[in-house]
Amino acid sequence: MNDFPLEPDRSAMSEMGGLVLDRVVDFVERLPDRPTGNTTDAAVTADLVAAFLAPPPEGPGDLKALLDRLDAAADCALETAGPGYLAYVPGGGLYTSALAEFYARGINRYGSLAMGAPALTALEESVLRWIAQDVCGLPEGSGGLLTTGGSMATFSALIAARHDHLGEDLEAGTVYVTAYAHHSVAKAARLAGIRQRNIRTVACTEDLRMDVEAAAAMIRADRQAGLRPFLLVGSAGTTDTGTVDPLPALADLAEREHLWFHVDAAYGGFFRLTERGREQLAGTERADSVTLDPHKTLFLPFGTGALVVRDPAKLYAAHEGTGDYLQDVGSAGGLPNYAHMGPELTHEVRGLRAWLPLHLHGVAAFREALDEKLDLAEEVHGKLAAVPALEVPWRPDLSTVAFRVRPRDGGAEAAAEADLATRELLARINANPRVLLSSTAVDGRQTIRVCVVVHRTHRDRVDEVVELITAEAARL
């Protein structure tokens, strides 16, 4: 034991690193065979929870024993990283991103002000410019900010839009979303000081897309009533059904009405790497700001979102802050100070966790993986649409397929029966540890979703899931 236990020597560092690495490699290797749901029984879960709630001891512990405890905790969980996890919007977690993160934490560079580590800021900026310009199609000069997730990205977009259009006079500001917009948009608007009643829900057409005429009428009426419409939000893939709003028409409307146009591409954005995705998500390039979630469709581990904006000066204008204690901070090589573009001051160098996988695997590997997800969703749609007991109302725009039990007729009683049967079907499907699906309500009707996003999900597992759904639907 050396005199400074917080500073292990070289051999201790290597030994500890090796122990952790082995566990992680074992864990990742076992992923395909692990049950998708949490199979830990209630009593064991209660014991684990109680044990983990305990405060830390006064003296040192044993790493091996602590890792054993951690493995038990990691097992007591939904298997969000495995190939059978098709619920909500999954996140697989690239191994190479975990390695990047270990490196980034090991060197512990300051990631918030460019002078702290200019070359690593440039690395992060390369990721942001790639997302803004190559992925989203925003013009040169666009940029943004890596956040902890989509919700934080949307929050900063809301703040920038508010500052740019309303200044400090927020009372009359109105925001336009649909009922299928992610709840993080309304949450961000409330956090940004927008009145709940000024968050407008625009009607959708039958295919679940924002009705542009309805939006235009609402905006006109609000303006006539003395309100100040300032923000239009389009979804580039809703969480419910993966539906893409008519982004080009929304961009036209926003331009005509002088609104800030935000695109929520938290789920869908990276599909723009594929040809089909680029077609579906055309119009994204006309946004003032776009939310993406690398921890979803770039397969990164949880904790990484991205906000990209047409004009970073507007992010600065809304977020910049300073203090005398920062008087020694200079600029570095024309690089951004991310601390002035969002609410956080101190944070890690976030870009490395995307940069290393992108440079190691190359962009084509991501494009091919996303193309595969689109193929799989098309296949799921085709096969489920052929099952007589099921209703599969919407062809997937992206990688989410929504289905439900077909009611026997158009009456309210039949719809209620079908809702119950859909709940029952979901329970029966999820009783199988090879798959996990989640549900939602679309137009008030219970609806099950298959969301193909984990990079480890391939045709074999998807075929297995479709067979299971088909068999259980026949047994209802």
Ligand X SMILES: *Cc1c(COP(=O)(O)O)cnc(C)c1O
Binding residues for ligand X (CB under 6 A): 89, 149-151, 182, 184, 235, 239, 264, 266-267, 293, 305
Query: Which ranges in 134-199 belong to alpha helices (H)?
Result: 150-166, 183-191
What gap in Å lies between CA 48 and CA 194, rounded to an integer?
Answer: 42
Task: For CA atoms 146, 303, 359, 107, give the dihedral sign.
Answer: positive
Coil, helix or strand at residue 53: coil
In the β-sheet with 305-309, what is the strand arrangement from edge to edge? 143-147, 305-309, 289-292, 260-265, 228-235, 173-178, 199-202
Residue placing its CB nearer to ligand X in the complex, 298 or 421: 298
Please, which residues have CB within 8 angstroms of residue 61's CB and are 6 or more apart in sequence? Answer: none
| Residue 454 beta carbon to ligand X: minimum distance, rounded to whole angstroms | 14
Residue placing its CB nearer to ligand X in the complex, 88 or 260: 88
Residue placing its CB nearer to ligand X in the complex, 117 or 136: 136
| Residue 156 beta carbon to ligand X: minimum distance, rounded to whole angstroms | 12
Residue placing its CB nearer to ligand X in the complex, 23 or 187: 187
Q: Using CB positions, name the residue nearest to ligand X.
A: 150
Q: What is the largest CA-CA distance in the chain?
A: 78
| Residue 188 beta carbon to ligand X: minimum distance, rounded to whole angstroms | 10
Residue placing its CB nearer to ligand X in the complex, 268 or 407: 268
H-run or E-run covering 185? helix 183-191
Residues of the chain by 3-state class (helix, strand, coil), percent to 5: 50, 15, 35
Residue placing its CB nearer to ligand X in the complex, 132 or 398: 398
Coil, helix or strand at residue 289: strand
| Residue 184 beta carbon to ligand X: minimum distance, rounded to whole angstroms | 5
The residue among 187, 120, 126 whose CA lies nearest residue 151 is: 187
What gap in Å lies between CA 91 and CA 78, rounded to an integer?
Answer: 12
Q: What single-letter DSSP state applies at residue 407? A: P
| Residue 280 beta carbon to ligand X: minimum distance, rounded to whole angstroms | 14
Residue placing its CB nearer to ligand X in the complex, 309 or 468: 309
| Residue 268 beta carbon to ligand X: minimum distance, rounded to whole angstroms | 7
| Residue 411 beta carbon to ligand X: minimum distance, rounded to whole angstroms | 33
